[in-house]
Structure 1
Amino acid sequence: MPAPEPGGVPLFPPLRVRGGRQSLRRAMRRRRRAVAAGLAVTAAALAVSSPQAAERTQSVATPAPRERGPAREAAVVSAPVRIADAETVRLLRPGDRVDVIASANSPSAGSDTARVVAMNARVTGVPAVRGGAPDAGALVVLAVPRETARVLAGAGTTSRLAVTLC
C-alpha cells in the first residue's frame, strides 16, 4: 500500500513583526518607571504619616532665635544618665521612649519636689551593669536635644533620677 499524498499546505515566508523586541522593551521601561514613581510616592507618604515622624517632631524643640542666622532645630545629642534604680534600667531596650523624673536626694523633703526633666527621650543604649555598689544605679544613654542634655546633667548631680516608659 502506497503512502498517502502530502497535505496541501502551501509554503509561506516566516512572519516578521516590526519592532517587536523594541516595543516590548519600551513597554517594560515605561512600566518600571511607573512602578518606581508609585513606590517613591508611597514611601514619601509613609515617611510623613508614620508615628516615628510625629515623635521626632514632638521630641525635638527649636531653640530661641540667635542674633545671627535663622533659628534651627535643636541638635540631638547622646546624654548618658545615671538612673537610681538599676532594676528599672534592665527593662529598657534601645528605641524605647522614656520620661526622666528628678526627685530630691533627701527622703525628708516633701513628695512634691519631683519634677519631669526630659519627656519622650529615646533610649539609644543600655550599657552592661558593672560591679559596684548596689545602690549606685545604672547608666542609660538617651537621645535628647542639647538643652535637655544640659538639664539632665544638672539634675543628675543634685537629684535622684527615675524613668517611666512612654
Structure 2
Amino acid sequence: MPHFSPVHVHGGRQRLRRLLRHRRRAMAAGLAVTAAALVAAGPRDAGPRDAERVRQRERPAAVAAPAQAAALVTAPVRIADAETVRLLHRGDRVDVVASDGSASRVVAAGARVTEVPEPQEGAARSATEAGALVVLSVPRATAARLAGAGASMRLAVTLC
C-alpha cells in the first residue's frame, strides 16, 4: 500500500457558515411569503352574527351559559320540503324562511337542529306531500314566530 500524506480540508468553517446563512435566508423568505399572504387576505368584515359571537366570547362563561340555556326552547317545525330535511343532522345551524307565495322572510336565523325525527313507515307518502318535521333550539320569542308562521305559511330551511 502506498504512503499518502494526510488530507487537510480547507474552508470547512466557511462552508458551514454559508450553509447557516442560507438557512436563515430561506427562513426569512418563508416568513415574508406568509406575511404577504396574510396581508393579501385582509381582515374579514364582521357582520351582525360575528359581532354577537365576539360579544359572547368576551362574557365570562359562568354568566353566559345559564342565561343562554334558560332563554332557549325546543320548537318542532314542519318544513314543506321533506327531502331538504333529510339533509339535516343534529347540531346543524339553519335559517328558517317563511313564504306565502308572493313574499318570503327569515323567521329564525341560526337555529340549532336538536332532532330530526324519522318518518313513520305508513306515513311515508303523506310526509313527502305534507313536509317533514324537524326540532330546533331557538329563543322563546323566535319559537312563537315559528309557530305563527308555520300555521299560515310554507316553511323552508337553509344551512348556515
Q: TM-score w.r.t. structure 1 length?
A: 0.53
Q: Does 1:99 align with 2:89?
A: no
Q: Does 1:54 align with 2:44?
A: no
Q: Does 1:79 align with 2:69?
A: no
Matched position secondary structure for 2:89: coil
Aligned positions of 1:126-165 closer than 5 A: 126-130=116-120, 131=123, 132-133=125-126, 134-165=128-159
The separation in 2 between residues aligned to 1:139 and 1:55, in whole angstroms, is: 32
Matched position secondary structure for 2:143: helix
Gap runs ≥5 in structure 1:
1-50, 59-71
User: RMSD between aligned alpha carbons?
Assistant: 2.6
The separation in 2 between residues aligned to 1:95 and 1:128, in whole angstroms, is: 16
Matched position secondary structure for 1:82: strand
User: Structure 1 segments of 4 or more deviating over 6 A?
Assistant: none
The separation in 2 between residues aligned to 1:56 and 1:118, in whole angstroms, is: 20
Matched position secondary structure for 2:118: coil
More helix by share: 2
Closer, same or farther: CA 157–123 of 1 in aligned 2, 3 Å: same
Closer, same or farther: CA 87–146 of 1 in aligned 2, 3 Å: same
Equivalent position amino acid for 1:142 in 2: L
Q: Computing the radius of gyration over CA atoms, which structure comes out larger, 1 or 2?
A: 1
Q: TM-score w.r.t. structure 2 length?
A: 0.55
Closer, same or farther: CA 57–147 of 1 in aligned 2, 3 Å: farther
The separation in 2 between residues aligned to 1:127 and 1:165, in whole angstroms, is: 18
Gap runs ≥5 in structure 2:
1-49, 58-66
Closer, same or farther: CA 55–87 of 1 in aligned 2, 3 Å: farther
The aligned length equals: 96
Matched position secondary structure for 1:78: strand
Identity of aligned residues (%): 62
